[in-house]
């Protein structure tokens, strides 16, 4: 009797072919590296013009770095490029300064351009990538890949059905914190400044989940803020201590949690720059 085939999860390589991988980037400059990556997409005719994509990526990068720590960055832009999604990956032997939260240089860049007509796709892709890239062993294998072929094979191991658990949203805390800052600033600004801030807010809103934003807006309306920092184990939204396990999970991470006491979004204390 024939065994039923197990359903296969969609693999990252549905969006990434081997010629969309650069084994060793020539430059160690952030902007030049982004250009080098985009040149690949232009050459393969996956995108037509480099300029608008580069501008959008840099604008987004300026708001909050897309370096997720541990030597990895996921620069991205939401832009209609004709196709659904465009992905290109670059590895850097010497490392690139990406202004990462952990201060580490970036050795792997996964650049993503996705079409605004399919908003859910990026969240899905980002969540799937984050779930894999968070594993130290997987990262080590990626960094140690000895050829383009080996690197590509490893990237093909990434499956995209894994969604973040409901009590934790991976690697989005910095983004949500920035959005709150912008929304608060917006209230105190004049018309021209408001417009500029709205543009920045929209860039962030574009890539956050609808359910998350919906809850964020409700909290903002009710309390004037929606995201609280965790300081010395206490939620700064309600000043109640969180459970020890939760405290150690939050501290030093860029993940979003929800305070069990006051229901606000809870993030690690941001380091003063
Ligand atoms: Zn709280």
What separation in Å is there between the alpha carbon of 169 and the centre of ligand 1? 17
What separation in Å is there between the alpha carbon of 208 and the centre of ligand 1? 22
pLDDT tens readout for residues 205-221? 988 888 899 999 999 99
pLDDT given for residue 91 in this prediction: 97
Percentage of the residues of the chain whose pLDDT score is greater than 70: 93
Percentage of the residues of the chain whose pLDDT score is greater than 90: 68
What separation in Å is there between the alpha carbon of 260 and the centre of ligand 1? 7
pLDDT given for residue 115 in this prediction: 84
pLDDT reading at 266 higher than 70? yes
pLDDT tens readout for residues 34-87? 999 999 999 999 999 999 999 999 999 999 899 988 999 999 988 887 777 899
Q: Is the dihedral of CA 166, 171, 256, 249 positive or negative?
A: positive
107 is catalytic: no
Residue located via tokens 């370096």: 67
pLDDT reading at 1 higher than 60? no
pLDDT tens readout for residues 128-171? 888 899 899 999 999 999 999 999 999 999 987 655 555 677 78
Which member of 76, 84, 124, 171 is catalytic?
A: 76
* CA distances, 172 to each of 17, 126, 131, 266 (Å): 27, 10, 13, 11
Measure the CA–CA gap between 260 and 264, rounded to whole angstroms: 8
Q: Dump the DSSP string for 160-190.
A: S-----TT-BTT-HHHHHHHHHHHHHHHTS-
């Amino acid at each position: 009797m024939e065994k039923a085939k197990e359903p296969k999860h969609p693999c990252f390589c549905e969006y990434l072919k081997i010629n969309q991988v650069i084994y060793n980037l020539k430059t160690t400059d952030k902007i030049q590296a982004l250009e080098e990556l985009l040149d690949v997409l232009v050459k393969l005719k996956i995108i037509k013009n480099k300029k608008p994509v580069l501008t959008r990526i840099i604008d987004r990068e300026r708001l909050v770095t897309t370096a997720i720590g541990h030597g990895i960055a996921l620069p991205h832009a939401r832009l209609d490029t004709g196709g659904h999604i465009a992905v290109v990956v670059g590895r850097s032997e010497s490392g690139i300064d990406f202004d990462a939260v952990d201060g580490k240089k970036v050795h792997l860049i996964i650049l993503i351009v996705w079409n605004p007509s399919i908003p859910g796709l990026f969240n899905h892709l980002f969540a799937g990538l984050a779930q894999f890239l968070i594993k130290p062993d997987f990262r080590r294998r990626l960094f140690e890949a000895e050829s383009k072929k080996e690197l590509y094979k490893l990237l093909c191991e990434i499956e995209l059905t894994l969604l973040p658990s409901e009590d934790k949203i991976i690697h989005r805390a910095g983004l949500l914190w920035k959005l709150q800052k912008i929304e608060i600033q917006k209230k105190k600004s004049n018309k021209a400044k408001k417009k500029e801030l709205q543009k920045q807010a929209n860039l962030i809103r574009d890539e956050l989940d609808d359910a998350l934003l919906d809850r964020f807006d409700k909290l903002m309306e009710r309390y004037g803020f929606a995201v609280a920092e965790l300081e010395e184990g206490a939620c700064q939204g309600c000043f109640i201590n969180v459970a020890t396990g939760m405290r150690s999970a939050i501290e030093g991470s860029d993940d979003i949690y929800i305070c069990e006491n006051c229901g606000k979004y809870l993030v690690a204390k941001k380091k003063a720059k």
